[in-house]
Amino acid sequence: MKSYDISNPFFSNFPINPNIEWQMSRAEKYCLIHLLENLNPEYSIEIGTYKGGSLQVLSKYSKKVYSIDIDSEPKLSLENQFDNVIFKVGKSHNIIKDIVKEIESKNGKLNFILVDGDHSKDGVRKDIECILSCNLKYPLTVILHDSFNPQCRLGMKSVNYEKYKFIEHIDLDYIHGSFSPNKNYREMWGGFAIIKINPKIKKSNFKINQSQKMLFNATYWKSIHIIKDKLLFLKPLKKLLNL
Ligand SMILES: C[S@@+](CC[C@H](N)C(=O)[O-])C[C@H]1O[C@@H](n2cnc3c(N)ncnc32)[C@H](O)[C@@H]1O
């Protein structure tokens, strides 16, 4: 059964390609389009290409995009559809630093990153740490998808942000998420966290804002995560047994 498309009806001048699956909610789509239309990045990086849903927006509003996926399929199927996108295949945290160096060597300005790849706690933490430890020279906006998912959120909270003095603003609930509207019964997904970086500032005491912390907590206690996340330690065993 085809899952219910929660973005309909959608009102925008942005020409969404209906043949490309885009794994974001209506609010997230509106937000991403508006954000990028206003930021107009010179260079953007996307972690998590998948079917190219978010990439179509990054491609339209950025001069050049690097899009990373651990799977080679997105590169193979999308390479001919976007002429300003360079596709990279591999684990994001092994690739990001080289991409940032490549942009720097071209005297390019990296202005936007979308993090939407590995959704485990450690995966999210590694992506953020990798980005923050790069030589960032220009104002940069980082959007992290699925901040409403408890594991992703833990990953986002586990970073020692104090180490990085150029962070201007963090909010884990820039756009808040919801229960998954489709088959994942009472799983919490979606939401955008934002990290705004400004290399000109040197700040040491800032706060990780969680503007919808109460909503997150209330939803968590009604969610499947109170059981499911406790069983995550069985994951390696399940993989071993091929379950
Ligand atoms: C949720 S999908 C991305 C959805 C897409 N951004 C969109 O809006 O439609 C996540 C993608 O991240 C990729 N991925 C998972 N772990 C990764 C990693 N460590 N490095 C790079 N890509 C990864 C997966 O193969 C998958 O295609």
Euclidean distance between CA atoms 49 and 181, whole angstroms: 22
- The pLDDT score that the predictor gives to residue 241 is 76
pLDDT of residue 4: 63
DSSP state of 213: H
CB-ligand 1 contact for 192 (6 Å cutoff): no
Does residue 85 contact residue 55 with C-beta atoms inside 8 Å? yes
Q: What is the DSSP letter of 231?
A: G
User: d(Cα 174, Cα 146) in Å, to the nearest integer?
Assistant: 11
Output the pLDDT for position 32. Answer: 98
155 lines ligand 1 (CB under 6 A): no
Going from the Cα of 210 to the center of ligand 1, the distance in angstroms, rounded, reads 24
Ligand 1 atom index nearest CA of 127: 19
Q: Is 112 in the pocket of ligand 1 (CB under 6 A)?
A: no
CA 49 to ligand 1 center in whole angstroms: 6
- CA 182 remoteness from chain centre: 20
Going residue by residue through the chain (243 aa), what tens digit of pLDDT does each one get? 456 667 778 899 999 999 999 999 999 999 999 999 999 999 999 999 999 999 999 999 999 999 999 999 999 999 999 999 999 999 999 999 999 999 999 999 999 999 999 999 999 999 999 999 999 999 999 999 999 999 999 999 999 999 998 999 999 999 999 998 777 779 999 999 999 999 999 877 778 999 999 999 999 999 999 988 887 777 777 777 776
Sequence length of the chain is 243
Q: Give residues with Cβ within 8 angstroms of 223, minimum separation 6.
A: 150, 179, 186, 187, 188
Give me ligand 1 centre to Cα 182, in Å. 19
Per-residue pLDDT tens for 130-165? 999 999 999 999 999 999 999 999 999 999 999 998
Domains of the chain: 26-240 (3.40.50.150)
Answer whether 109 contacts ligand 1 (Cβ < 6 A).
no
How far apart, in Å, are the Cα atoms of 148 and each of 31, 58, 98, 125, 156?
Answer: 16, 22, 30, 15, 11
pTM of the model: 0.95
